[in-house]
């Protein structure tokens, strides 16, 4: 199967790289499965505090789902549903990670690639990046589950533009709509994403987990997420990290959080 997801973890930051450069980092079935598998593995680890997801190189975050899969995996309505389930499993797994996630978008971010970027908590883009969802030019029905997260990221007007016109949305316009945390020139986008990740990695992980769950609940996640948010908030308030945070504040020093 074409493509791969390269994964590395260093100093609390996981870096996931969509690697299928011959197809503009189009996401194959195997890559969708790798993303979901990462989420399963990450739930068992304590050394990851934030993740950055990007495409290999600077030409594309992702050109979307790998269309070479379509004849074998998405050739009819039944196959399309099975494939949509695969994409949804990966996107929802990234969305539900216990730590913050950043999509670093360089170049093209198209179709299912845009849905994957929308699954991340924050998005940073280079000033030459663009978003597009060409489903209307393919005659393809778009999964309502994916529509929910794209609509949440790009606002009502933005998601209508993307789907009804199938045209490109430049990074500057996506930023105006609130879909991007920042837009920067070239490699500065990479540097901004890294600085953002480091700043979050230095914060209390139990607090970040509780905040992420509470935000998801506020945005309409299933009811069980609210219950999880309440438990996570209580765990943070009872943690050694909370005591360390108070002590560090009193001593006027940087806190040393352990996630305990």
Angle at 256 between CA 254 and CA 259, to 5 degrees: 140
pLDDT for 54 equals 98
Euclidean distance between CA atoms 61 and 240, whole angstroms: 39
Q: pLDDT tens for residues 54-64?
A: 999 999 999 99
Query: Which of 159, 185, 186, 195 shows the shortest CA–CA distance to 174?
Result: 159
Confidence at residue 82, expressed as pLDDT on a 0 to 100 scale? 81
**Which of the four pLDDT bands, split at 50, 70 and 90, describes residue 154?**
very high
Locus of tokens 């506020």: 218
Domain range list for the chain: 4-201, 205-251
For residue 4, report the phi and psi dihedrals to the nearest 5 degrees: -160, 160
Per-residue pLDDT tens over the stretch 50-94: 999 999 999 999 999 877 665 555 555 665 778 889 999 999 999
CA distances from 213 to 43, 75, 76, 96, 231 (A): 14, 37, 37, 8, 10
What number is the average pLDDT over the span 222-246? 94
How deeply is 193 buried, as exposed, middle or buried, from its count of CB atoms within 10 A (0-12, 13-18, 19+)?
buried
CA angle 33, 221, 240 (to 5 degrees): 85
Measure Cα distances from 85 to 67, 82, 104, 173, 194 in Å: 16, 5, 25, 30, 32
- pLDDT at residue 141, rounded to an integer: 85
**What pLDDT score does 144 carry?**
87
Inter-residue contact 241 to 204 (CB < 8 Å): yes
Q: And the tokens for 198?
A: 């480091």
Tens of pLDDT along 4-49? 999 999 999 999 999 999 999 999 999 999 999 999 999 999 999 9
* Residue 71: per-residue pLDDT: 58
Across 108-113, average pLDDT: 96
Q: Does domain 4-201 have CATH number 3.90.226.10?
A: yes
Buried b (16+ CB within 10 A) or exposed e, 24-53: bbbbbbbbbebbbebbeebeeeeebbbbbb
Which two tokens mark 38?
């990462």
Q: What's the pLDDT score for residue 241?
A: 95
pLDDT in tens, 192-233: 999 999 999 999 999 999 999 999 999 888 889 999 999 999
Q: Which of 74, 99, 129 is nearest to 16 (CA)?
A: 99
């Amino acid at each position: 199967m074409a493509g791969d997801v390269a994964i590395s973890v260093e100093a609390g930051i996981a870096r996931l790289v969509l690697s299928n450069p011959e197809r503009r980092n189009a996401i194959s079935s195997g890559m969708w499965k790798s993303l979901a598998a990462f989420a399963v593995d990450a739930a068992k680890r304590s050394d990851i505090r934030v993740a950055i997801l990007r495409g290999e190189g600077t030409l594309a975050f992702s050109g979307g789902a790998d269309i070479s899969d379509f004849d074998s995996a998405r050739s009819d309505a039944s196959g399309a549903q099975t494939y949509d389930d695969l994409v949804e499993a990966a996107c929802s797994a990234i969305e539900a990670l216990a730590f913050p996630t950043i999509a670093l978008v360089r170049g093209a971010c198209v179709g299912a690639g845009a849905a994957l970027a929308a699954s991340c908590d924050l998005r940073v883009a280079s000033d030459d990046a663009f978003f597009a969802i060409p489903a209307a030019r393919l005659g393809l029905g778009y999964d309502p589950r994916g529509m929910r997260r794209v609509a949440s990221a790009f606002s009502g007007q933005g998601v209508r533009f993307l789907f009804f016109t199938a045209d490109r949305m430049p990074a500057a316009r996506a930023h105006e709509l609130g879909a991007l945390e920042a837009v920067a020139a070239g490699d500065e986008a990479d540097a901004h994403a890294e600085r953002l990740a480091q700043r979050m990695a230095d914060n209390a992980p139990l607090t970040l987990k509780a905040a992420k769950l509470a935000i998801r609940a506020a945005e309409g996640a299933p009811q069980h997420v609210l219950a999880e948010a309440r438990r996570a908030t209580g765990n943070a308030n009872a943690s050694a990290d909370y005591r360390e945070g108070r002590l560090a504040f009193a001593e006027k020093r940087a806190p040393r959080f352990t996630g305990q």
